[in-house]
Structure 1
Amino acid sequence: MLGNWSFGDYYKKEAITWAWELLTQVWGLPKDKLYATVYEKDDEAIEIWKNNTDVLHEHIGKFGAKSNFWEMGETGPCGPCSEIHMDMGPGRCINENTPGHVCAVNGDGCGRYIELWNLVFMQNYRAADGTLTELPSKNIDTGMGFERIVTVIQNAGSNYDTDLFRPVIARVESMCGKKYDKGNNGAPFRVIADHIRALVFAITDGAFPANEGRGYVLRRLLRRAYRFGRELGFSGPFLYKLVPDVIKIMGEAFPEITQRRDYCMEVIKSEEERFAQTLEQGIEKFNLMLESAGKNGKTVLSGNDVFTLYDTYGFPMDLTRLMAQEKGFTVDESAYGELMEQQKERGRDASKKGDSSLLTPDGWTEIKKVKGTEFVGYELEETAVNPTSYKEIPGSSDKKSREYLLILDRTPFYAESGGQTGDCGTLLSVKGTIINVIDTFKWNDAIVHKIVAPAQLTKEDLSSSLMARVNHDIRSATRRNHSATHLLQAALRKTAGEHIQQSGSRVDHLSLRFDFTHFKALTKGGLEAIERQVNEWILTDLPVTTVVEDLASAKSSGAMALFGEKYGDRVRVVTMGNVSRELCGGTHASSTGQIGLFHIVSESGISAGVRRIEAITGLNSLLALTRCENTLAVLCETLKVSEDTLPKKVSGLLDTVKQLETAANRNSLEKVAGRAAELLSEAGKIKGKIPFVVKNIGNCSKEVFGPLTDAVSDKLKSPDFQNHVVALGAVIDGKVQLFAAAGPVAVKAGINCGAIIKEAAKKANGSGGGSPMRAQAGCKNTEQIEDALAAARQTIKSKSEA
Structure 2
Amino acid sequence: MQTHEIRKRFLDHFVKAGHTEVPSASVILDDPNLLFVNAGMVQFVPFFLGQRSAPWDRATSVQKCIRTPDIEEVGITTRHNTFFQMAGNFSFGDYFKRGAIALAWDLLTNSVDEGGYGFDPEKLWATVYLDDDEAADLWREIANLPVERIQRRGMADNYWSMGIPGPCGPSSEIYYDRGPEYGIEGGPEANEDRYIEIWNLVFMQNERGAGTSKENFEILGPLPRQNIDTGMGVERVACLLQGVDNVYETDLVRPVIDLVASIAPRGYGVGNHDDDVRYRIIADHSRTAAIIIGDGVSPGNDGRGYVLRRLLRRVIRSAKLLGIDTPIVAQLMATVRDAMGPSYPELVTDFDRINRIAVAEETAFNRTLEAGSRLFDEAAEITKASGATVIAGNSAFTLHDTYGFPIDLTLEMASEAGLSVDEAGFRALMNEQRQRAKADAAARKHAHADLTAYRELVDAGPTEFTGFDELTSQATILGIFVDGKRVPVVAHGGEGETPDRVEIVLDRTPLYAESGGQIADIGSLSGTGGAAKAQVTDVQKIAKTLFVHRVNVESGEFVEGDTVTAEVDPKWRHGATQGHSGTHMVHAALRQILGPNAVQAGSLNRPGYLRFDFNWQGPLSDAQRDEIEIVANEAVEADYPVNTMYTKLEKAKAMGAMALFGEAYPEDVRLVEIGGPFSLELCGGTHVHNSAQIGPITLLGESSVGSGVRRVEAYTGLDSFKHLAKERALLAGLASSLKVPSEEVPARVATLVDRLKVAEKEIERMRRSTAASAASNAAAGAELVGKVRVVAQRMPVQTTAGDLRSLVGDIRGKLGNEPAVVALIAQGDNDAVPYVISVNAAAQDLGLRANDLIRTLASTVDGRGGGKADLAQGSGKDPTGIDAALDALRADIARS
| TM-score normalised by length of structure 1 | 0.64
**1:314-353, CA deviations, whole angstroms, 9 ceiling, x for partnerless residues?**
8999999x976864674485654333465799xxxxxxxx
2:298 is matched with which residue? 208
1:483 is matched with which residue? 581
Secondary structure class of the residue paired with 1:440: strand
1:115-130 correspondence to structure 2 within 5 Å: none
2:289 is matched with which residue? 199
Q: Is the 8 A contact 1:373 1:407 kept in 2?
A: no
2:439 is matched with which residue? 338
Say whether 1:221 aligns with 2:322.
no
1:596 is matched with which residue? 695
Q: What is the alpha-carbon distance in structure 1 between the residues aligned to residue 503 and residue 231 of structure 2?
A: 49
**1:532-580, CA deviations, whole angstroms, 9 ceiling, x for partnerless residues?**
4433443444444556789999889887665667889987665545555
Q: What is the alpha-carbon distance in structure 2 between the residues aligned to residue 587 and residue 427 of structure 1?
A: 20
1:719 is matched with which residue? 814
Amino acid at match of 1:165: I
Say whether 1:740 aligns with 2:836.
yes
Say whether 1:165 aligns with 2:257.
yes
Residue 651 of structure 1: how far off its partner (Å): 4.6
Say whether 1:521 aligns with 2:622.
no
Amino acid at match of 2:440: L
1:618-629 correspondence to structure 2 within 5 Å: 618-628=717-727
2:364 to 270, 279, 282: 270
Q: Is the 8 A contact 2:578 2:688 kept in 1?
A: yes
**1:462-506, CA deviations, whole angstroms, 9 ceiling, x for partnerless residues?**
999987764433431222112222333444456556665655544
Amino acid at match of 1:475: R
Residue 521 of structure 1: how far off its partner (Å): 2.4
1:246 is matched with which residue? 332
1:339-418 correspondence to structure 2 within 5 Å: 339-340=440-441, 377-382=467-472, 389=490, 405=501, 412-414=510-512
Residue 202 of structure 1: how far off its partner (Å): 4.0
Q: Is the 8 A contact 2:170 2:204 kept in 1?
A: yes
Q: Is the 8 A contact 1:597 1:617 kept in 2?
A: yes
Q: What is the alpha-carbon distance in structure 1 between the residues aligned to residue 775 and residue 741 of structure 2?
A: 49
1:18 is matched with which residue? 112
Aligned length: 700
Q: What is the alpha-carbon distance in structure 1 between the residues aligned to residue 252 and residue 866 of structure 2?
A: 43
Q: What is the alpha-carbon distance in structure 2 between the residues aligned to residue 280 and residue 148 of structure 1?
A: 48
Larger RCO, structures 1/2 (Cα 8 Å, 6+ apart): 2
Amino acid at match of 1:338: A
Amino acid at match of 1:719: K
Distance 1:787 1:638, change over 3 A: closer
1:442-591 correspondence to structure 2 within 5 Å: 442=540, 446-450=548-552, 470-492=568-590, 495-496=593-594, 504-545=602-643, 574=672, 576=674, 577-578=676-677, 586-591=685-690
2:804 is matched with which residue? 709
Q: Is the 8 A contact 1:756 1:796 kept in 2?
A: no
Say whether 1:64 aligns with 2:157.
no
Distance 1:193 1:597, change over 3 A: same
> Identity percentage over the alignment?
23
Q: Is the 8 A contact 2:792 2:886 kept in 1?
A: no
Q: Is the 8 A contact 1:717 1:744 kept in 2?
A: yes
Amino acid at match of 2:803: L
Q: Is the 8 A contact 1:240 1:266 kept in 2?
A: no
Secondary structure class of the residue paired with 1:218: helix
Q: Is the 8 A contact 1:415 1:421 kept in 2?
A: yes
Secondary structure class of the residue paired with 2:619: coil
Residue 616 of structure 1: how far off its partner (Å): 1.0
1:289 is matched with which residue? none
Q: Is the 8 A contact 1:372 1:409 kept in 2?
A: no
**1:159-205, CA deviations, whole angstroms, 9 ceiling, x for partnerless residues?**
9996632653675658xx99996235865565456435543554356
Q: Is the 8 A contact 1:767 1:777 kept in 2?
A: yes
Amino acid at match of 2:825: L
Q: What is the alpha-carbon distance in structure 2 between the residues aligned to residue 162 and residue 746 of structure 1?
A: 65
Distance 1:471 1:169, change over 3 A: same
Residue 716 of structure 1: how far off its partner (Å): 4.0
Q: What is the alpha-carbon distance in structure 1 between the residues aligned to residue 788 and residue 322 of structure 2?
A: 42
2:42 is matched with which residue? none
Amino acid at match of 2:293: I
RMSD: 6.6
**1:3-62, CA deviations, whole angstroms, 9 ceiling, x for partnerless residues?**
2322456995897543999999xxxxxx9x998436697799989x9xxxxxxxxxx998
Mind listing any 5+ residue stretches in structure 1 that lack a counterpart? Answer: 25-30, 50-59, 96-101, 286-299, 346-360, 362-369
Q: Is the 8 A contact 2:286 2:333 kept in 1?
A: no
Q: What is the alpha-carbon distance in structure 2 between the residues aligned to residue 671 and residue 578 of structure 1?
A: 68
Amino acid at match of 1:689: V
Residue 706 of structure 1: how far off its partner (Å): 4.8
Distance 1:103 1:727, change over 3 A: farther
1:182-331 correspondence to structure 2 within 5 Å: 182-184=272-274, 187=277, 190-191=280-281, 194-196=284-286, 198-200=288-290, 202-203=292-293, 206-211=296-301, 213-224=303-314, 232=321, 241-246=327-332, 250=336, 253=339, 256=348, 259=352, 261-270=355-364, 273=367, 327=427, 330-331=431-432
Residue 675 of structure 1: how far off its partner (Å): 3.6
Q: Is the 8 A contact 2:533 2:556 kept in 1?
A: no
Residue 673 of structure 1: how far off its partner (Å): 1.9
Secondary structure class of the residue paired with 1:520: coil
Between 1:10-19 and 1:648-657, the stretch displaced more is: 10-19
Q: What is the alpha-carbon distance in structure 2 between the residues aligned to residue 331 and residue 246 of structure 1?
A: 34
